[in-house]
Every structure is written in C-alpha cells, then in structure tokens.
C-alpha cells in the first residue's frame, strides 16, 4: 500500500517540487483548498480531503480538516490492532506524512495591526491540531511545518529506504511543539496587548534564537541572542564582525539615548555607560562635541546617532578605533568609506523601531520584570526649591542633564551644559564619590563649567555633594528630592547662591 501524505500549506515555497518528489517515491497526496489547486495546476495527482471525509469545507473555510477520518488516520497507533480496526470500520486509512504550515498570524495580524475581528481569521485551528497529532504519533507519522525541512526529509527518506529513524522522527516532532507553542504565545500576547500596562500573573516569551554568540560577557560564558518573532526586522547589521554580548547591551544604550532627543544627537557608550553625549547643528558637530567629553574613553566605544550617517561623518569615524556605529541609516558614500574598516560593525535601525516596554533580569532563581524607565519629563513641572531660579541659559542644560542621568549607572552624577555632557560620575557606592569623579574628569578634559549644571539620579542624603559641586563651578542642580534632609540641601544651595530643581522622580539604574 502506498504511503499517504496530507499537505495543506499557507506558505507554498517549494511545495510543488517537494510534492513531485513525494509522488516519485510512491506517496499519494491528500490536500485542501489553495494547496490542492496549486498541485493540480502543476499536474501532480492529488485527492481532496473532502473525498476522504465526505464532508466539504464550511464556515468560510474555518472547518476543513477537523474530522475523525483525518485525525484517526494521523493518530492511529500502527501497533494497536483496535486502532486499525477503528480506521477500517469508518473506511479511513493511515496517514504517514503531515505537511502543514500555519496561517501567518504575526505577519498578517500583528504587523498589519488588524482589529481583533479581522485578526482572529488568521488564528489557525486545523493546522496546529494536525501537526500536534502527527508529532504525538511521530513513531508512525512524520510532521513537517517548515519548507527548509523538505530537502532534509527527502534525503533521510532516500538514505533509509523510506524507514526514517525514530531519532529523526523525534527531531521533527520537537520542532512542531516548539513552533506551535510559539504560535500560541504570539496569539495570547496579541490578545493581551490592550492590557500590557499590568504585569500578568503568568507570562510567556515568544523568542527564537537569532544569533549564537562567541561568548557572553566573558570568554568562559556561553551566550546567544534571542529575538521576538514579531520584532525580528527591527534592525540590521550592514557590515562588520559578529556582534558580541557586550556589543548588544551597549548598542541598546546608544540607541536609547539618542532617541530621547529630537535634536541631532550623538552618544558614545563604554560598558553600558555614556562616556560622551552631545547635540549639534549636524552629526559631525554632535560627534566632535561628544568626543570632547572624554577623548580617551571613546576609543573602542559604540557610537549612536539619531540622524543619517553621511560621507563627511564617515571620513571622521573611520579614523579612530570604534566597535560599532548605530544609526537610522547610512548613505551609499559612507558605506563605501566604511569598507576600509571591514571589522567595524554598522547597525541600521528600522523606521519606528522601539525597544520593549518591559525589562527582565534574573534574581534568586526567578525573574524580575519591570516597566522600562520611560517616564516623560517636562521641566516646567519641576519644583524650584531654592530662592534663586535657574537662569535662562541653564534651563536647557538642566533638561539635557536630567535626560542623560537615567542612562548612567547608579550612583549617577552628570555635569552638562545646554549642548553636551561635560562629565559623568558613574557606578559609585557613594554619591559624593560620583561627584568627585565627574570633577576629576572635568579637570582632565579642561572643559568649561560656565553655565554648567549637575544632575543626580537620586536625592542627596547630605549636602556635601552640593558643596563640592559649587566649589567646582556648578551653578544649578536638578535632582529628585525626597530625602528627610532635603531642607539641609536647600539651605546649603541658598547659602551658596545656587538654584535647585526637584523632579519628584528617581532614576536608579543598576
């Protein structure tokens, strides 16, 4: 008796050639709808599933293959005589191969942002059911759901004289359960999307491995990059070496910072901290200002822009050693210039690309999940708590500094003027040490603190930071407030002739 293959696919890539190969190897093909029509158009003998079931498609195609004769043929245990008797009693037969791929819910419903009444029509019911049935009974039935497996199946079939091993059958089955699980998660995530302000009691993450990394933060740590399938085309690498684990984290920081600004901006990242940031009338000016914040540390850094990289900028960027450049686009002339630095990684972000609004971290055998720190900021909503108000030239500096300080590891201090970060004090256990580090950096670069401000990601528990900053030349401060000793900080600021704003929002970053 010839083997039977049930074929019903949305993605018809390679299905004609594969079906011809099956027929050549003695398979009889059952099919439905558009797949059946395509095979017939290519002179491939095919039997309609409705001829087996005696039951046509109903409800606009919602019910086609959900029938005992179909599922009995897939699920029957060939070693169980009662199963075979049941098949014969209903005039059905064994199905040996199930070739099905699923309605493209992500591409058709999520990415096109269909309303729910239209999106549900792309929720596949029969396809996952047949695949799961075949995967359950993989000792007797082989399930295929990916056109990239067609050639592999034919090769294994030929090499085994049609007796594909149980190990290979199990590999196909595992892939089915992985794909149908991902499919269900995509649908549940979509249906939960209008409730994403809340943290759910249960979570599922539909992620697939996109890149096997050489190693993690250190060479002895294994690592890989996983991406959400519906966000898979959010960026692309145009050239350069494979991204490292540390590249990924630094690229996210570089991208996040520049996209917080409408003005032409440049960020420079080292070890997830900004060692330089500036705005400018053009990208060259922004980059050169950002470098001046720390002319030493930018070596080997990740550079981010929120504007296109052109020839003039590229000619400057190829001179120093940089790990990576991330931007919304690169013009053709710049790409030609970058070819001389073949290891330099160029990352192009897609239009409208945004980062996930949830962040995940391992802790104590579980996972911590929180909203991304995307709190909107309006300097007009801050409280001026000192007698002196900020001068007009300090307002933009305060806004810039406050936007940047949330990207610096806590305890975080930023010195800034109205167009660049002048220095950052990052990751110190003592806030006063962060202030001192920022001052030390200023002394090394020689940048002027004229019109400069200080931003702090959290309140000052003591007024010593204010005293040290004032002595260095800072005239205005922005901080969350909220300390039981706020009054001490305010009194010291007043005594020193400083202005100070309370934002009423903290920006710890660990």
Residue 161's contacts (CB-CB under 8 Å, 6 or more residues apart) are none
The residue among 207, 183, 486 whose CA lies nearest residue 360 is 207
- Note whether 228 and 182 are within 8 A (CB): no
Residues 9, 15, 19: CA angle, nearest 5 degrees? 110
End-to-end CA distance of the chain: 66
- Within 42-165, residue ranges assigned H as helices are 49-53, 68-75, 81-89, 105, 116-119, 126-136, 150-159
Compute the distance between CA of residue 46 and CA of residue 7 in angstroms, rounded to an integer: 10
> Phi then psi for 354, rounded to 5 degrees?
-130, 150
Report which of 294, 293, 344 is spatially closest to residue 316, judged by C-alpha positions.
Answer: 344
Task: Measure Cα distances from 49 to 39, 55, 91, 145, 159 in Å.
Answer: 14, 8, 13, 19, 30
Phi, psi of 68 (to 5 degrees): -55, -35
Residue recorded with tokens 């684990």: 245
Annotation marks residue 507 as catalytic: no
The secondary structure element, H or E, covering residue 47 is strand 47-48
The one catalytic residue among 20, 175, 271, 348: 271
Is 389 an active-site residue?
A: no
Q: Which residue of the set 136, 175, 229, 348 is catalytic?
A: 136
Strand partners, 423: 415
What gap in Å lies between CA 116 and CA 118, rounded to an integer? 5
Pairing of strands 324-327, 345-349: parallel
Total Cβ atoms within 10 A of residue 179: 19
**Which DSSP string corresponds to 380-392?**
GGSEE-SSBPPPH
How does DSSP classify residue 244? P
Contact yes or no for 357/372 (Cβ under 8 A): yes
Element housing 402 (H / E): helix 392-405
Residue given tokens 């399930």 in the structure block: 143
Query: How far apart (Å, rounded) are the C-alpha atoms in residues 356 and 409?
Result: 20
As beta bridge partners, residue 369 has: 360
**Per-residue buried b or exposed e for 16-26, using 16+ beta carbons within 10 Å of the residue's own CB:** bebbebbbeee
Of 296, 315, 304, give the one whose Cα is nearest residue 272. Answer: 304
**Residues recognised as catalytic:** 136, 271
């Amino acid at each position: 008796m010839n083997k039977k293959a049930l074929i019903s696919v949305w993605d018809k890539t390679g299905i004609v050639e594969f079906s011809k190969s099956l027929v050549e190897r003695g398979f009889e093909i059952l099919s439905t709808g558009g797949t059946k029509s395509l095979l017939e158009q290519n002179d491939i003998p095919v039997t309609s599933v409705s001829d087996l079931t005696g039951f046509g498609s109903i409800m606009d195609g919602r019910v086609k293959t959900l029938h005992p004769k179909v599922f009995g043929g897939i699920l029957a245990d060939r070693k169980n005589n009662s199963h075979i008797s049941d098949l014969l009693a209903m005039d059905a037969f064994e199905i040996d191969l199930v070739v099905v791929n699923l309605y493209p819910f992500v591409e058709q419903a999520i990415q096109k942002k269909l309303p729910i009444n239209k999106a549900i029509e792309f929720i596949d019911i029969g396809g996952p059911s047949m695949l799961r049935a075949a995967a359950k009974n993989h000792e007797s039935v082989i399930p295929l759901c990916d056109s990239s497996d067609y050639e592999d199946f034919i090769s294994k079939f030929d090499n085994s004289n049609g007796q594909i091993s149980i190990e290979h059958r199990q590999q196909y089955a595992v892939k089915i359960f992985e794909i149908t699980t991902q499919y269900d998660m995509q649908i549940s995530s979509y249906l939960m999307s209008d409730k994403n302000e809340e943290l759910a009691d249960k979570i599922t993450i539909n992620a697939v491995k996109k890149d096997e990394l050489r190693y993690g933060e250190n060479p002895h740590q294994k690592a890989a990059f996983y991406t959400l399938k519906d966000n898979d085309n959010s960026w692309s690498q145009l050239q350069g070496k494979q991204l490292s684990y540390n590249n990924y984290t630094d690229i996210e920081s570089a991208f996040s910072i520049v996209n917080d600004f409408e003005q032409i901006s440049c960020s420079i990242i080292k070890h997830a901290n900004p060692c330089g940031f500036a705005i400018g009338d053009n990208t060259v000016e922004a980059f050169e200002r950002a470098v001046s914040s720390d002319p030493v540390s930018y070596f080997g850094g990740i550079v981010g822009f929120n504007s296109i990289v052109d020839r003039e900028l590229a000619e400057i960027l190829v001179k120093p050693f940089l790990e990576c450049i991330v931007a919304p686009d690169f013009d053709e002339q710049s790409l030609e210039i970058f070819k001389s630095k073949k290891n330099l990684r160029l990352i192009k972000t897609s239009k409208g690309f945004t980062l996930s609004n949830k962040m995940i971290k391992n802790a104590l055998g579980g996972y911590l999940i929180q909203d991304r720190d995307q709190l909107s900021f309006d300097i007009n909503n801050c409280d001026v708590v000192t007698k002196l108000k900020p001068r007009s030239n300090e307002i933009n500096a305060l806004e810039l500094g406050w936007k940047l300080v949330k990207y610096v590891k806590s305890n975080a201090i930023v010195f800034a003027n109205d167009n660049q970060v002048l220095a950052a004090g990052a990751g110190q256990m003592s806030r006063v040490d962060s202030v001192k580090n920022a001052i030390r950096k200023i002394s090394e670069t020689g940048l002027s603190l004229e019109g400069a401000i200080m931003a702090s990601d959290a309140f000052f528990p003591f007024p010593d930071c204010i005293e040290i900053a004032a002595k260095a030349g800072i005239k205005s401060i922005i901080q969350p407030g909220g300390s039981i000793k706020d009054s001490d900080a305010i009194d010291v600021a007043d005594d020193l002739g400083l202005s100070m704003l309370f934002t009423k929002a903290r920006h710890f970053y660990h």
